[in-house]
């Protein structure tokens, strides 16, 4: 192998590398001799000769806020309270419906009602929402109908997904709510991409991305944070930190100061909020939205909440946390009860109104449940639709084999199951 003389190599190499690296140099990388001695050329950070590491668990400077000063009209306050209690009512009935085998799966929102309704009230209806799987309250606040929730849980033909999604995977293009995907944290970089599009469009809207504390252990979360910070996009990251990633406690997820501290690490503004306080959540999100839209800044909000129920109908939370502690929390920091007490003091609510509304809410959900239950499921051939622009030959073959199986199977149990689907799925004999 031929070796070039050092001087020749240097003269060829340096100009090429200079041009290649020039575009990657930031202003912070430029050396400023005027900063010496004693300060750094980067933002005038002091320079020290003392070798000292930052502590692994620095004392938090991010505080919980509990603001009861936000002045809503009585009608606004009543709407938020009714949405919170309707969400609770729907949870109770659909959870029991799963136990009765009327639906296959469900996830409750108990304890997180203020987090959802408070943030939804602070947003613009045109703001795009990327949810995880415990944010039905945002849809409810925006006008999603009860039968739409239950249709999805029943997997019937009237539902938006017609049985090809998990029951709680809601979505609504009309309400700017992206359909949910169960894979943890995948929505986070997608949300940043949408926020970048919003920035380029200058449409005075922002993107809101909800996720749990467990999602921040995924690499997608870190990619999203860095992507959002470097591109300076209008997005609000809302982390529901209820202390458990399903059954994994926080102490086994991280040793740092929660999730909010990660925002500052990536160059984002961050705040920690009492998620049981409706007004604290509202105020934090209102301020965050203003900064995100007006200044094209990503904001991270860590909402500290307690999940009063199990992770899902497939979970027994008593196996990994104290039921006595959860009952205590439900009595002392219930977000619904806190709003109720405030409304009583304010004079816009009383026991009679409470009793009437609770019965009305229960009757509404039960009525919709009964009606939705009688709607047949979509044709079983729907699984072949919308996979590609048209049904490709290999899918046509699979569909033909399926229909042959349907036609040849005369077992009573199979025919009973088939009767729950639209008749279009049964071939003419």
Q: Which domains are assigned to the chain? A: 74-373 (3.40.50.970), 380-425 (no CATH)
Give SS3 for 198: helix
What pLDDT tens digit does each residue of the chain (429 aa) get?
455 555 544 454 444 434 433 443 333 333 343 434 443 334 455 655 565 544 545 444 444 455 555 678 999 999 999 999 999 999 999 999 999 999 999 999 999 999 999 999 999 999 999 999 999 999 999 999 999 999 999 999 998 888 888 899 999 999 999 999 889 999 999 999 999 999 999 999 999 999 999 999 999 999 999 999 999 999 999 999 998 888 888 888 888 888 988 998 899 999 888 899 999 899 999 999 999 999 999 999 999 999 988 889 998 888 888 888 878 877 888 999 999 999 999 999 999 999 999 999 999 999 999 999 999 988 888 889 888 999 999 999 999 998 888 888 878 877 787 888 886 544 444
Q: Cβ distance 120 to 141 under 8 Å?
A: yes
Q: For the sheet containing 299-304, what is the strand order?
A: 177-178, 128-130, 207-212, 235-241, 299-304, 269-274
DSSP string, 250-269: GGGT-SSSTTHHHHHHTT-E
pTM, rounded to two decimals: 0.82
Tokens representing 421?
Answer: 């689907």
Residues 6+ apart with CB under 8 A from 369: 93, 94, 97, 102, 150
Do the bridges between strand 248-249 and strand 244-245 make them parallel or antiparallel, or are there none, so unpaired? antiparallel
Q: Which residues contact 423 (CB under 8 A, 6 or more apart)?
A: none
DSSP string, 11-38: HHHHHHHHHHHHTT--GGGS--GGGTTT
| Positive or negative: CA dihedral 38, 41, 47, 49 | negative
Tokens representing 185? 């944290």
CA distances from 253 to 215, 241, 266, 364 (A): 10, 12, 19, 41
- H-type alpha helices, 165-255: 187-201, 219-231
């Amino acid at each position: 192998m031929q070796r070039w003389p050092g001087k020749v190599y240097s003269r060829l190499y340096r100009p090429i590398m200079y041009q290649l690296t020039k575009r990657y140099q930031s202003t912070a990388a430029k050396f400023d001799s005027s900063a010496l001695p004693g300060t750094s050329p980067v933002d005038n950070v002091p320079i020290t000769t003392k070798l000292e590491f930052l502590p692994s668990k620095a004392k938090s400077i991010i505080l919980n806020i509990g603001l009861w000063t936000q002045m809503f009209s009585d009608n606004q306050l009543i709407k938020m309270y009714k949405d919170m209690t309707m969400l609770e009512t729907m949870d109770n009935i659909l959870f029991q419906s799963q136990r009765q085998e009327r639906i296959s799966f469900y996830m409750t929102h108990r304890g997180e009602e203020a987090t959802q309704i408070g943030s939804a009230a602070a947003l613009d209806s045109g703001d795009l929402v990327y949810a995880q799987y415990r944010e039905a309250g945002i849809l409810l606040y925006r006008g999603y109908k009860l039968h739409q929730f239950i249709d999805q849980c029943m997997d019937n033909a009237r539902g938006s997904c017609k049985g090809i999604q998990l029951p709680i995977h809601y979505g609504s293009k009309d309400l700017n709510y992206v359909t949910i995907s169960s894979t943890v944290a995948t929505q986070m970089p997608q949300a940043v991409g949408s926020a970048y599009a919003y920035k380029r469009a200058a449409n005075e809207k922002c993107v809101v991305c909800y996720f749990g504390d467990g999602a921040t252990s995924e690499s997608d979360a870190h990619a999203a944070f860095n992507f959002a910070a470097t591109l300076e996009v209008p997005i609000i990251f809302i982390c529901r930190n209820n202390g458990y990633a399903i059954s994994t406690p926080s102490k086994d997820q991280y040793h740092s100061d929660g999730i909010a501290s990660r925002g500052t690490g990536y160059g984002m503004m961050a705040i920690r909020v009492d998620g049981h306080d409706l007004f604290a959540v509202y105020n934090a999100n209102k301020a965050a939205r203003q900064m995100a839209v007006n200044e094209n800044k990503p904001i991270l909000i860590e909402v500290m909440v307690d999940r009063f129920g199990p992770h899902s109908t497939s979970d027994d939370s008593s196996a990994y946390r104290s039921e006595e502690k959860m009952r205590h929390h439900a009595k002392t920091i219930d977000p619904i009860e806190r709003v109720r007490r405030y409304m009583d003091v304010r004079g816009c609510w009383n026991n009679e109104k409470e009793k009437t509304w609770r019965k009305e809410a229960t009757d509404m959900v039960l009525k919709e449940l009964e009606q939705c239950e009688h709607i047949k499921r979509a044709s079983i051939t729907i699984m072949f639709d919308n996979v590609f622009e048209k049904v490709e030959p290999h899918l046509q073959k699979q569909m033909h084999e399926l229909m042959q199986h349907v036609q040849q199977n005369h077992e009573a149990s199979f025919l009973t199951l088939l009767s729950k689907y639209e008749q279009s799925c049964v071939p003419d004999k």
